[in-house]
Amino acid sequence: MERIAVFPGSFDPITIGHMDIIQRAVPLFDKIIVAIGTNSAKKYMFSLEQRQKFIEKAVERFENVTVQTYDGLTIDFCLNNDARYILRGLRNPADFEFEKAIAHTNRAISNYDVETVFLLTSSGKAYISSSIVRDVMINGGEYKKLVPSSVKYKCETK
């Protein structure tokens, strides 16, 4: 059976922390689907199309990584893509507690057998989050050290 993992998130934008998780997971799975979830109640800085292009360019060197978008529950996306693993990155204890609750919920609401696999973000990247990157971008800071080179942002001057 093929080992397929889903790495879900909004990736608004993808960061070098996300890339760290992807790169380290590549040898662990036959296929990794970077799954960009959509939430109509959430306001995104980058459009779904922009986020998808950023990620596709960033992961193009990995033969076993694809990018898809989805609506609804991640567990349903896994079922529809024959994925038996959900890949999640952990930066700190708060991430672990949050992700643990989601993993337990996924097991409780589904008859589909999916394991959540946690990878710790490398220590030099553990401070990076998409929300921090967005704040740096909006305020005209040097964001390029925090994201893959595929992520482009033109700061609007007021």
The structural domains of the chain, ordered by start, are 4-139 (3.40.50.620)
CA gap 122, 97 in Å, rounded: 18
- Is residue 89 marked as binding? yes
Q: Which residues are catalytic?
A: 18, 42, 91, 130
The two most distant CA atoms of the chain are separated, in Å, by: 55
The residues of the chain scoring below 70 in pLDDT are: 155-158
CB 116 within 8 A of CB 103: yes
The reply, when asked if residue 122 is annotated as ligand binding, is no
Give pLDDT, residue 37.
94
User: What pLDDT score does 39 carry?
Assistant: 80
For 76, 81, 84, 107, 150, the CA distances from 111, given in Å and listed in that order, are 11, 15, 12, 8, 38
Residue 18 annotated as binding?
Answer: yes
91 annotated binding-site participant: yes
Residue 131 gets the label, from left (phi > 0), alpha (psi -120 to 50) or beta, of alpha
